[in-house]
Amino acid sequence: MSAFPSLRSSFSDVCFRRLAFALLAITGLFAEITPVSAQPIWAEEFNTGTAPNPAVWGYDLGAGGWGNAELQSYTSDAANVRVEGGNLIITAREQLLKGGRRSFTSARLKTQDKFTFKYGTIEARIMTPNVANGLWPAFWTLGNNFSTVGWPACGEIDVLEMGSAGAIAAGVANRRVGSTAHWEYNGSHAQYGLTYDAPSNLNGTWHTYRMEWTPTMISTYIDNTWIWSIDISNPAGFDGEEFHAPHFLLLNLAVGGTFTGITLSSGITAPLPAEMRVDYVRIYDNGYTVLGGSSIGGGAATQTHVDSIVPGITGGGPNKKATATIVIRNESGGAVAGATVSATFSGSHNQTVSGTTDANGTAVLTTTTTSNAPAFTVCVNNVAHATLTYNPAANVESCDTY
């Protein structure tokens, strides 16, 4: 759901997909992964109530473009989001204002902090609306540390996106589905994605979108047809630690935006109101799956780990001090307050510093040593807590470099 388009190779889409298919088949990576559990270990069936379960789902609210020049304002109103007939229904609507100006509303749901998962088979049965032209439905994930590290450092996995500018130009807006990963690489944004053109329009009919996520590979499918894969087996090699950390789910229907190539209301020609329907979202254990969040429960937490490290500097001139904002969480993804974090700075600043996490699980460590030309690495040595045990093997990252 990023503002950035998927990467393209110099091949045509068709040639690139054939090459990728062949390489995956040769390496054995194309083989479909069978979930370990026959039944889902978590499911949202949308069979009760008239609104999404507030223990699981929250909302992004408001306008402002959402970093993508989107035209809608997101609400939690029943006019834009409801549960009915066993479906979650997200409705994009139009309102004419004075002078004939067009205004749009829709909804964006998320499970941030309430339900998280790391690895697994994630499946959703979705009916998309007619997206031609200007609608942008999406089923995607963000790293649950989004609030502390921001985007793209949190990582993003787009399982389903439709309505792209490229699809509009090719006349396949309702046939083309794309999947993309976004992450932070050496302080900037990196991405990799592919698209699949279905033989007929997808809108108005049910289709199953699935992601297989293991410690070595992420792959996506539509109705068991492969869309895209990314090798994540060596996160240090591509700065991809984001894909070995808990993520949360998002479902939304945007109007316009840079992804669609339409950033003026006059360019929206898709029929409105438009409904994106979700029959269910299910997660199966593939042997690696870890669930978390406030809706999961499952007993008291016993362990801590480092969720993120953000190095920085404070001060000016020759007296720049090194800093590190370090977030500590438990195995369910909850913030850990009152933990003593010890970390060592090396390079331009050589010092070991300790600090205590606040209610958000955040400790900000600052050196007393200074430098005119900061260039340092900071590594966490230990996390001490009165009742929880530090598990460094669960760290999302243990060191980071400024």
Q: Which residue type, as a one-letter code, is found at position 205?
A: T
Residues β-bridged to residue 43: 282
Cβ proximity of 4 and 10 under 8 Å:
no
Options 94, 161, 184, 397, the catalytic residue: 161
Cβ proximity of 270 and 257 under 8 Å:
no
Q: Compute the Cα dihedral for 357, 358, 362, 364 and give only its sign.
A: negative
Radius of gyration over alpha carbons of the chain, in Å?
22
Q: How many CB atoms lie within 10 A of CB 15?
A: 11
- Sole residue written with tokens 């992964």: 33
Question: What does the alpha-carbon distance between residue 137 and residue 254 come to, in Å, rounded to a whole number?
Answer: 6
Question: What does the alpha-carbon distance between residue 149 and residue 196 come to, in Å, rounded to a whole number?
Answer: 32
Q: Which residue type, as a one-letter code, is found at position 60?
A: D
Helix ranges (DSSP H) in 95-150: 146-149
What is the end-to-end Cα distance of the chain in Å, rounded?
28
Q: Catalytic: 44?
A: no
Q: Which residues contact 29 (CB under 8 A, 6 or more apart)?
A: 217, 219, 229, 231
Q: Which residue type, as a one-letter code, is found at position 158?
A: D
| Eight-state DSSP code of residue 260 | T
Question: What does the alpha-carbon distance between residue 129 and residue 270 come to, in Å, rounded to a whole number?
Answer: 9
The dihedrals phi and psi of 96, each to the nearest 5 degrees, come to -90, 125
Q: Catalytic: 161?
A: yes
Question: What does the alpha-carbon distance between residue 90 and residue 275 come to, in Å, rounded to a whole number?
Answer: 6
Cα→Cα distances 348→187, 255, 309, 372, Å: 19, 48, 18, 9
Options 156, 184, 212, 241, the catalytic residue: 156
Q: How many CB atoms lie within 10 A of CB 265?
A: 16
User: Apex CA 43: angle with CA 37 and CA 45, to 5°?
Assistant: 135
Q: What is the set of active-site residues?
A: 156, 161
